[in-house]
Structures are given as C-alpha cells and as structure tokens.
Amino acid sequence: MSMFVDIAFPISSYNIFTYSVPQKFRSQIGIGSRVTAPLGKRRTTGIIVGFPQKPVFTGAIKNIESLVDPYPVLDKPLWELIIWMSDYYLTPIGQVAKTVLPSKLSTRYDPPALWMVRIVSKGDNANLGNLGKNAPTQAKVLDQLKNYKDFIQVSELRSFASSPLKVCQGLEEKGLVKLLKETRTPNINAFTFDPISKQIYFTKKQREVLHDLSLMLNPKKFSSHLLHGVTGSGKTEIYIEISRKVLACDRTVIILLPEILITPQIAGRFRAVFGDTVALWHSKLTQAVRSWTWKRICLGDFKVIIGARSAIFAPVKNLGLIVVDEEQESSYKQEYPAPKYHTREVALMRGKLHKAMVIMASATPSLESYYNQIKGKFTYLQLSHRYGGAKYPQVYVVDMKKDQEEAGKIGQVFSGLLLDKIEDRLNKSEQIILLQNRRGYSPIFRCNDCGEMEMCPRCNVTLTYHKVGNSLQCHFCGLKKKVVKLQCKHCSGHNLGLLGIGTQKVEDILIESFPGARLARLDFDTARSISSITKLLKKFSLGKIDILLGTQMIAKGLDFENITLVGIINADTGLYLPDFRAGERVFQLIYQASGRSGRHKKPGEVVIQTYDAENAVIKQATKLNLKKYYNMALSERRELNYPPFSWMSNLVFSGKKKIAVLHKADKVRSGLSGKYKGLDIIGPAPCYRERLRGKYRIQIVFKSAKSQDQNGLKLHHFLQQNFGSEINQQTHSGVITSLDINPVSIQ
C-alpha cells in the first residue's frame, strides 16, 4: 500500500503538494514533521500538513527524500499555533512554519567533535634528530607538543603542518602521541551575567499580586493579566516567584524580553534561582549555540526559556506561563518577512492553546493592553511603588529654546543645568545615564553653499554621518559609503556642514567637557555582540564607567544602584513622525528612561531637555503622569477611530517602477467591494518612507470600527476575500503587495 502526505513549503503560495512516503520513513512521521522533498528543480524542506487517502494530483507523484528530524518536533498546540498564524496573518502555512521552525535548526544537530592530541612519554623522550631525518614535519610537530602536558586541539598545530591531523596520525602509529576525538558542547552560559543571588522578602503589595496570580494557576486554564508596575517595583521578582510555582506543577515557562541588552542581568537572576534549567534564546546566539540550545529544548532539558521575540516559538512541552516584559515595545513586532506577527498576539494565542497563564507586564503598557484591561480582557495587577521605599526621581524640565535665548548661545547640545548635574555626580562618584535616541554623528550632511544634502539614492532620506569609520550611512537600508573627499557633489563647494546630533557627536562633546570621565557609548553601532555588551554592563555595574550614553537601548531594564542621574538630551526625537503612535512612544521612552534613576537607596534625578515644552505629550511625560497621558491619548484615538478603538491593517504596494506601483494600487482600490458599515479605507497614498531600498511604496490603510466589528472578523474576512491570494506575490510589472495586520506603525 502506498502512503501519501501533503506538504506545505516555505513559499508565498497556499498550494500544497502531494508526495508518497517510502516505507522506511513511515513510522517516524506525523502532522508537523519536517521533510525534504523535490520541488521544481530543487530539494526543499517542507512540513507535513495532511495524510490524503489518495492524491488529487494526477501527474507523477514523487517520493519524499529525507526527514529533517527523526520525530515530529511540534506538539499539538504549537502546530495549532502555526495554523492560527497562517489564518490570522494571511500567510501560507509553509512560510509560518519557517518562522516557527527555522530550517537551520534540526534535532539531529550534534556539536562538532574536535581532534585532540597529547604527547606521551615515549614521544617526550624520542630523539628529534633521528625522527627529523625521515619525517621533518613530524619532528617539528612533536617538538611543539613537548610544550604541552595536556591535550590540545590538533588544529592549533596548523602553523607547523598543513595537514596536522595526518602528521599526528603518523606520530601515533609510532607510539609517540595520543589522539582522541572530543565533542565540544557549546557553552550556552557564556553570555549571561553570573548568577545574582538575593534575599527576597515580598512586600504586602507584591504578595497580593502573587496571591491573585496563584489563584489563577490552577486549574489548568488560560488566563491573561496586565501587570502594571512602576519601574523598580519588583516585576522581575514576581516573574521568578510565579515561575517557581509553574515549574512545581511540572510545566514550563517562557519569559520574553524586548531588548537583548538587558537579558544578561535578568538571566543572571533567573539562573541564581533555577540553575541550568534556564536557556537563553535570541538573535545574537552563534549558530552552534543556537542549534545546541534548540535541540536540548526539544529534548526537554530546559524548563525556562528567556529570550527575545522568536523565543515565543520555543518548542517547550507543557507550557504553563508566558511573560511578555515591557509588552509595549515595538521590537515585539516582526516587520519582515511575513508573517508580520506581533509577539503579544501570538503569546495570547499560544497561551490559550496550552491552557497557560499569560502576563503582559510593563511600567508603561501599550494603549492596547491598557484598554484591554479597562474592558476586562486582562485582569489588572498593579504595583504602584518602587521596592524598598525608593522614591521616584525628581524631574527637571529644561526648555531649550528659552535656555539658549537667555544664555545667548544657540545650538548648544547640553543645557547649563544638565552640565552642572553631570559635574556634581562625577564629583560624588555616582553614575549617569544619558539618552540620545539617534545614532551616528550627525543625521544631516549639508553643503552650506548650495544647501543640497547627501541623500540615500535608494531610500530618499538624509544620510547620517558617522565619524567612526568616516562614512555616510543610510539607517534604513544600511548603505554605507566612505567620505573620501569633502566636496559637495552638486556645486563642488568645500563648505560642508553637519546638522543634527547623534550619539557619536554627544560623545565628542562629553569627552571635551569632562576629560576625566570614564564614558561608554552603547548603540546599534557599538553593540556588536552580546558578550561585548555583557562586558560593558559588568564594567558599569562595578562602577568602572561613570557615564553610559546610548540610544533607546539603554532606557529599559537596567537596574544599577549607583545611577542617580538620567539626562534625556532631546526628548522630542520622534515626536513629529507622521504615525498615530508617535506620541505614545515618546511618552514611554521618557518614562522608562527616567525609571533608571534612583532605583535603590540613593535618590535620583532626571533632566529632560526639550524644544517643545508646551507639547502635551512632553508635558505629561515630564510630569511622569501616566494616567493623565493615557486618558488623553485614548480619547484622541477614540475620536479618530484609531486602535484600540478600531482594527487596522495596511496594504503596501512596492516596486521599482513608480507608475506600475501607482497603477496597481489604484486598481486594487477601485475594485474593492463588500464594504460594510464602519469600514474606513484610506488611500492609496505614498508611505511616509516613500522610497525604501530602491523601491517606491504606496499604501492603503483599512480601519474597522470595533463598535461595528467587535472581534475584527469582518475586516479579516474582507481582507481575505479581496487579497487572500495576491499577498506577497509579485505581478509581472514587479509590484509586490504586502499586508500588515495590526501594524505598529504606518510609515
């Protein structure tokens, strides 16, 4: 009897393909198994989605070729999650599967084995002269080995012999050395902080929160919560305590963190409590560590997974708890490639499928979650005080316009107040965090004669000057070019100027103003590897750095006792982006950054510099008045029918030829049928980033009022009917249509 399977491939098509299964694989496969099979001219990894009785396809049916894993890695809930994502984000199953189970990861991964060699006593006493007559290379290698008592890697001898293994094998035959093959398991803990042990005595308020959560843990049931705790209130300790209870029921935990940077510190806390059952998962793992970790997650060796966005797909069994820390962060959204999922949405669904507890936690919840809590979708747990009686910092707002007018100095980066306070902390040996949310040296490189600016030819945005490496870079597409000649391309003038301020420039000013200060800069450009970040943070925690300067990376999560001053150099950065969430983001950033100051015994201060002191967002943010700002923002969103009062999706058409893109967008727009009351269609209109990576972009935004469409099903149905089959397909004129369900920004 033949056996058939339907396979979905990671291609942008909903087609599934039927194959037959050779006898030898039959007992090892199931729904969700990964296999390789011929697709067109190539061998491709796909996923089994069904077992048809007989194929619908009438042509020749091919065989599957191999199994990627010797058993299905997906359990039922994770498989159902793939199905749900495919439907919810209108993305083919094969493509979702590739996100959930990256094809580079296989349970067959074995750490590489390395050849090791050691000299033995016969070798130690051997006469090198005699040996050298017939085998000079062997003599050279043996001579080297005399320097080592223990095994060393054979590959280390490469400078003495071009094929050291062969030479060593020759030596072994003569009984002069011993060879052995050793498996090198990657060190998965290399990147965490050392375990950070602490005595924890929960406060009354913390105990209440823990009590409320514990009640919901049993019976095995889905529950969702918003833990709204001010910075420093002990949210991490709550995660740890609840995890303990979940593990005690033999269930597993996923802790999601938005910023890789803060992982080592929190991971250090978790490791102190849960030891080797904790695994880290994020994009900066090396391939060996990633493969090794993943295999061991599949084997059930780890019970607590701490990681960034993609850790939501960790194939742990018996999942009992998901925590989304700083749930408002936009790094939780996958912007590219499809599926453009939001980790918050996926976490809630995975929680439902596993009958697990899901905790959204933040000091500054997203407006969505805040609203969900008001609507009763999440239970609301609040920690409104810092642990240990630490006070919220004293905030000073500097109106930079006024400040500079009064001082008669225009264009100063630092106000007198901030400079004084930095000086004061340096004198007291207390630490300082400075936030400048723009990297590079200057975002604008302009000719003072003709006024032309250097633009990215592919993205139509100004290129940012980077002093380190003396280059101009596009922060959208990554284009990088060396500045060879300081001459304007347009008028050949030599009078070039830099406008605007990035972290590198702030660094220069600081070095000049405080020559004795020990300064570190942490932004996308310096954060090369997690180990370098970990080192830097360790140095900071040991007090070997006075000033930590950085982009939004440093605004969250850091918990150091000695930070008593936070300076926000330009609070207005990002405020004027044409995006309905711009204000919310700026508010959250200011609030979070302020939260780094004075978290323990020493009182903290915050200096916020702004050019728009009257702006409503800035005003509430500088007062750290969260409730007032959220209510204000919510009523604005309600008025304009934006989320969380509506469901929103956007279609972006992009292509090299502007005419073709416009044409496609117009055609789509005019063909839209099936409108229902409460559906708002905006556009087509050029995206804010009209050209990106050499492509012209135009979008249509859909909003569906919740009052008419409670669960978003109407909009979903509408999108599926109208675009289901063309998303991510390229037309012959080169236009691609991509869809973003619940976009976090519409730029």
Whole-angstrom distance, CA of residue 68 vs CA of residue 436: 46
Cβ proximity to ligand ADP, 97 vs 308, nearer residue: 308
Cβ proximity to ligand ADP, 354 vs 600, nearer residue: 600
Q: Which residues contact 108 (CB under 8 A, 6 or more apart)?
A: 68, 69, 70
Cβ proximity to ligand ADP, 123 vs 234, nearer residue: 234
510-519: which pairs have CB atoms within 8 A and are 24 or more residues apart? 510/434, 510/547, 510/549, 513/414, 513/419, 513/422, 514/422, 514/423, 514/426, 514/547, 516/426, 517/422, 517/426, 517/546, 517/547, 518/544, 518/545, 518/546, 518/547, 519/545, 519/546, 519/547, 519/549
Q: Are 279 and 305 in contact (CB under 8 A)?
A: yes
Per partner kind, with CB cut-offs from 5 to 8 A, the member of ligand ADP, Zn ion, none near residue 77 is none
Q: Which of 233, 328, 362, 464 binds ligand ADP (CB under 6 A)?
A: 233
Q: Which of 45, 192, 224, 236 binds ligand ADP (CB under 6 A)?
A: 236
Sign for the pseudo-dihedral over CA of 78, 80, 84, 86: positive
Order of strands across the sheet with 394-399? 394-399, 605-610, 563-568, 431-435, 547-550, 519-522
Q: In sequence order, which ranges of 570-647 are alpha helices (DSSP H)?
A: 582-594, 616-622, 626-640
Q: How far is the CB of 367 from ligand ADP (least distance, A)?
A: 20
Whole-angstrom distance, CA of residue 330 vs CA of residue 336: 13
Q: How far is the CB of 239 from ligand ADP (least distance, A)?
A: 8
User: Does 477 help bind Zn ion (rule: CB under 5 A)?
Assistant: yes
Sign for the pseudo-dihedral over CA of 577, 578, 581, 587: positive
Q: How far is the CB of 307 from ligand ADP (least distance, A)?
A: 17
Q: How far is the CB of 332 from ligand ADP (least distance, A)?
A: 17
Cβ proximity to Zn ion, 440 vs 583, nearer residue: 440
User: Does 249 help bind ligand ADP (rule: CB under 6 A)?
Assistant: no
Number of residues interacting with ligand ADP: please give it, by CB under 6 A: 17
Q: How far is the CB of 697 from Zn ion (least distance, A)?
A: 13
Per partner kind, with CB cut-offs from 5 to 8 A, the member of ligand ADP, Zn ion, none near residue 228 is none
User: Does 596 help bind ligand ADP (rule: CB under 6 A)?
Assistant: no
**Residues 270, 307, 343, 665, Cα dihedral to 10°:** 160
> 564 — phi, psi (to 5°)?
-120, 0
DSSP run (H or E) holding 403: helix 400-407
Q: How far is the CB of 342 from ligand ADP (least distance, A)?
A: 22
Q: How far is the CB of 22 from ligand ADP (least distance, A)?
A: 53
User: Does 453 help bind Zn ion (rule: CB under 5 A)?
Assistant: no
Binding mask 550-589 for ligand ADP (x = CB under 6 A): ---------x------------------------------
User: Does 598 help bind ligand ADP (rule: CB under 6 A)?
Assistant: no
Q: How far is the CB of 604 from ligand ADP (least distance, A)?
A: 13
Q: Which of 32, 232, 393, 550 binds ligand ADP (CB under 6 A)?
A: 232
Query: In angstroms, how far is CA 444 from the centroid of its own chain?
Result: 28
- Both tokens of 196, joined, read 């950070």
Q: Which residues contact 448 (CB under 8 A, 6 or more apart)?
A: 493, 495, 496, 497
Whole-angstrom distance, CA of residue 432 vs CA of residue 725: 53
Q: Which residues contact 457 (CB under 8 A, 6 or more apart)?
A: 479, 694
For ligand ADP, which residue has the nearest CB? 234
Per partner kind, with CB cut-offs from 5 to 8 A, the member of Zn ion, ligand ADP, none near residue 232 is ligand ADP
Residues 177-216 that bind ligand ADP (CB under 6 A): 198, 200-203, 206
Q: How far is the CB of 205 from ligand ADP (least distance, A)?
A: 10
Q: How far is the CB of 363 from ligand ADP (least distance, A)?
A: 7
Cβ proximity to Zn ion, 479 vs 498, nearer residue: 479
Residue of 304, 322, 311, 302 whose CA lies nearest to 284: 311
Q: Which residues contact 309 (CB under 8 A, 6 or more apart)?
A: 256, 331, 332, 334, 343
Q: Which of 3, 83, 479, 519 binds Zn ion (CB under 5 A)?
A: 479
Residue of 579, 565, 661 whose CA lies nearest to 617: 579
Per partner kind, with CB cut-offs from 5 to 8 A, the member of Zn ion, ligand ADP, none near residue 6 is none
Among the listed ranges 143-151, 232-240, 526-534, 652-660, the one in contact with ligand ADP (CB under 6 A) is 232-240
Binding mask 412-451 for Zn ion (x = CB under 5 A): ----------------------------------------
Q: Which of 93, 456, 568, 575 binds Zn ion (CB under 5 A)?
A: 456
Given the rule CB under 6 A, which residues bind ligand ADP? Answer: 198, 200-203, 206, 229, 231-237, 387, 559, 599
